[in-house]
Chain A
Amino acid sequence: MSDPNLTAVSAARWRMAVLLTTAMMVVYFGFILLVAFNKPLLGTPLVEGLSIGMLLGVLVIIAAWVLTWIYVRWANTHYDASLRGLRS
């Protein structure tokens, strides 16, 4: 039979996975949709040498780093602690 404690840990783990996956997809496809449908906006210069598109591109890479870091932080503290609880 399934263990209710495990089911709760599993549900929390998947909530986090789905939330962060959705966040990454929104950021990335938001960028792709702008590339596809609003080229003039992305070409607008902010300061000399920097267009909105370049800035957003760098921000997508930084967003990938930040979301990954959030997951590792969450897993190292909450998920690992729950797993220790299940094992004992």
Chain B
Amino acid sequence: MTSAIGDPNLTAIAFFGLFIVLSLGITVWASRRTRTADHFYAAGRNVTAFQNGLALAGDYMSAASFLGIAGLVAVSGFDGLIYSIGFLVGWPIVMFLIAEPLRNLGRYTFADVVAMRLRQTPIRIAAAIGGLAVIAFYLIAQMVGAGNLIRLLFGLPYEVAVVIVGVVMLAYVLFGGMIATTWVQIVKAVLLLAGATILAGLVLARFNFNPLALFAQASATYGAGVLAPGRQVTDPIDAISLGLALMLGTAGLPHILMRFYTVPDAKTARTSVGYATAFIGFFYLLTFILGFGAMVIVGREAITKVDAGGNMAAPLLAEVVGGTPFLGFIAAVAFATILAVVAGLTLSGAATLSHDLWVNVIRGAHASEREQFVVARGATIVLAIVSIVLGITFKGQNVAYMVGLAFAIAASANFPALVLSIFWKRLTTAGAQVSMITGTVSTLALIYLSPTIQLDILKHAEAWFPLRNPGIVTIPLSFMVAIGVSLLRPVPSEERRFVELERRLHLGLE
């Protein structure tokens, strides 16, 4: 079939223009309400549970999930679903272990919680290393994805697309802070959920609204193997390792954790995770329909001809079932999705640089409201430039593993220290610090030594480390060094402060 993908698409440009106008309108409105650091980082802490639930879903459902997973299912069937499921199961963990304590104990970043009863400077620096590493890899994945996607969808040059994403995102964060970012996430989440639902509805309409008829057709055309685990899962240990990183990494992503500070109290944080889990689960269930729908209706060959990775499966499907205007709508939604995720990442990076490093390490927590504001905005500009440069530098790289890398670092560097600081009274400054640094360094080293870098990218004959996903080694290692170092050199004064932490954890600031 001939596809309009890659040609400048009038509907896509119109819808995208509409989204830009709407989101910049929100930014102007938000900028008038952004007067203090609390507004800039935490949207004044008056976001409702339903709004934050949508915004969390917006922050989390990246273009990688929408285009990448739909494409993976379309090309390899069942194997793609393993990702859909892995990306959801971290949310109950966020709910049970993290959301409410985080809201009660911190102000702007997850390092606030780890540092609360420990020594500020070493904890903030170690947390910033882990946090910024996660943000950097996640940003690269989004920017490179954005460049490729926009080139394919709109026919714009790669570099132009990267610069547009960087500049528009900078406008949101710089002027509108967390208020604008939250509303951009909400608009994007509604658009993405609506777009995916309509698309799935159009697919199911061809199968009498019976998903089993769709799956049966897929199995009749491409063999029963598409409904069973296949080639993607070759090594069992690697599958478990990936599963661990996806599950625990969600609870260590700085831009997700930061969203819990935007609600008024812990109970609202709890309810918002409930909404987020419902929306995200629903979205990933839709990827079953979209992926198999693209496989059957568009056909595998047509999908891989446009993009070898299968990333254009959902847009191609939209074109076949809804025509060029619907393709335009879905393309604009995908663009909006990337913009929103990049904005959330940049804001959390700015909070780490200004709140953790500048205010708490360099200025010893003595910085005026005005100074905090100026530094936060300066950090935002720096991060926007860095993300554009990274996007252009990493052009042409396979980015799928970078999202995996971001989750692996989040699970190994941030999650163990965060969870132990909440649960375990014996955790010491040295224990938390060593754990966060070990988590970051060991993950980076093992990824470098893995088959993904050694065989696929550097074309070496063999890899020193057998697994593509290091989580099964680095997550337990990070927990063990935290516990080992804390037990070897106990610090009674830090342990005594746990009583105060525990009270605030449950009751908040009284």
Interface on A for B, CB 8 Å cutoff? 1-3, 6-7, 9-10, 13-14, 16-17, 20-21, 24-25, 28-29, 31-33, 35-37, 39-40, 42-43, 45, 47-51, 53-54, 57-58, 60-61, 64-65, 67-69, 71-72, 75-76, 80, 83, 86-87
Binds A, one of B162-170, B224-232, B313-321, B395-403: B224-232
**Partner of B236 from A25, A37, A72 at Cβ < 8 Å:** A37
**Contact (Cβ within 8 A) A57 B81:** yes
Question: Does B29 touch A at the CB level, under 8 Å?
Answer: no
Confirm or deny: B507 has a beta carbon within 8 angstroms of a beta carbon on chain A: yes
| B214-A54 in contact (CB<8A) | no
* Closest B residue by C-beta to A23: B92
Contact residues in B for A32 (Cβ distance below 8 Å): 82, 239-240, 243
B152-160, B266-274, B348-356, B437-445 - the one binding chain A: B266-274
Contacts of B240 in A (CB 8 A): 29, 32-33, 36
Which stretch (B13-21, B93-101, B383-391, B452-460) binds chain A?
Answer: B93-101
On whether A53 and B227 interact (CB within 8 A), knowing A24-B92, A31-B85, the answer reads yes
Stretch at the interface among B143-151, B277-285, B369-377, B409-417: B277-285
Contact B243 A39 (CB under 8 A): no
Which B39-91 residues have C-beta < 8 A from chain A? Answer: 78, 81-82, 84-86, 88-89, 91
- B204-233 near A? 1/0 per residue, CB < 8 Å: 000000011111110100001101111001
Please pick, from A1, A17, A28, A45, the residue contacting B97 in the complex, using a CB distance under 8 A. A17
Q: Which residue of A lies closest to B97 (CB)?
A: A17
Apart from A36-B239, A42-B78, A75-B270, what 16 extra A-B contacts exist at CB < 8 Å? A6-B507, A17-B97, A28-B85, A28-B243, A33-B240, A35-B82, A36-B233, A43-B225, A43-B229, A45-B224, A50-B212, A50-B215, A51-B228, A53-B229, A64-B92, A83-B507
Residue A24 contacts which of B81, B89, B271, B281 (CB distance < 8 angstroms)? B89
Whether B494 sits at the interface, judged by CB under 8 Å, is no
Instruction: Tell me if B499 counts as interface (CB < 8 A to partner A).
Output: yes
How many A-B contacts at CB < 8 Å in the complex? 148
Contact of A65 with B213 in the complex, beta carbons under 8 Å: no
Q: Which of A45, A54, A87 contacts B78 (CB 8 A)?
A: A54
Q: Let me know if A86 and B506 touch, CB within 8 A.
A: yes
Bound Cα distance A58, B243 (Å)? 16
Check if B85 sits within 8 Å of A60, measured CB to CB: yes
Indicate if the CB atoms of A6 and B215 lie closer than 8 Å: no
Are A71 and B285 interface neighbours, CB within 8 A? no
Asked if residues B92 and A67 are in contact (CB atoms below 8 Å), the reply is yes
In contact, A61 and B284 (Cβ under 8 angstroms): yes
Contacts of A2 in B (CB 8 A): 499, 502
The residues of A that contact B285 with a CB separation of less than 8 Å are 58, 61
Chain A interface helix/strand/loop/mixed: helix
Chain B, residue nearest A72 (CB): B274
Can you offer 27 A-B residue contacts whose CB atoms are under 8 A?
A6-B502, A10-B502, A13-B506, A20-B96, A24-B96, A33-B236, A36-B237, A39-B229, A42-B229, A45-B224, A47-B212, A48-B216, A49-B213, A49-B215, A49-B216, A53-B78, A54-B81, A57-B78, A57-B81, A61-B285, A67-B92, A71-B92, A71-B270, A72-B271, A75-B267, A83-B507, A87-B507
**Inter-chain contact B281/A49, CB cutoff 8 Å:** no
Closest to B271 in A: A72
Q: Is B481 an interface residue, CB under 8 A from the partner?
A: no
The docked-state distance in angstroms from the alpha carbon of A62 to that of B267 is: 23
Q: Is B123 an interface residue (CB 8 A)?
A: no
The complex places the Cα of A61 from the Cα of B91 at a distance, in Å, of 11
Instruction: Answer yes or no: B503 CB below 8 A from chain A CBs.
Output: yes
Q: Does B394 contact A (CB under 8 A)?
A: no
B499 touches A86 (CB 8 A): no
List the A residue with the shortest CB-CB distance to B235.
Answer: A36
List, in ascending order, chain A residues with CB within 8 A of B86's CB: 28
Interface string of B239-250 (1 = CB under 8 A from A): 110010001000
Contact B228 A43 (CB under 8 A): yes
Residues on A with beta carbons closer than 8 Å to the beta carbon of B82: 32, 35, 57
B438 to chain A, nearest CB (A): 23
Indicate if the CB atoms of A10 and B89 lie closer than 8 Å: no
Q: Which residue of A lies closest to B230 (CB)?
A: A39
Partner of A43, one of B215, B224, B274, B288: B224
A48 to B267, CA, bound (A): 45
Q: Using A14-B423, A53-B78 as known contacts, say yes or no to A68 and B95 having CB atoms under 8 A apart.
A: yes
CB proximity of A56 to chain B, nearest CB, Å: 9
| Residue contact A65 to B277, C-beta cutoff 8 Å | yes
* A29 proximity list for chain B (CB < 8 A): 240, 243
Residues of A within 8 A of B510 (CB): 87
Min CB distance, B243 to chain A, in Å? 4
Q: Would you list which residues of chain B between 111 and 143 have a CB under 8 Å from chain A?
A: none
- Set of chain B residues within 8 Å of A49, measured between Cβ atoms: 211-217, 219, 227
Known: A6-B506, A24-B93, A72-B270. A61 touches B85 (CB 8 A): yes
Cα–Cα, bound, A9→B288 (Å): 41
Contact call A61/B281, Cβ cutoff below 8 A: yes
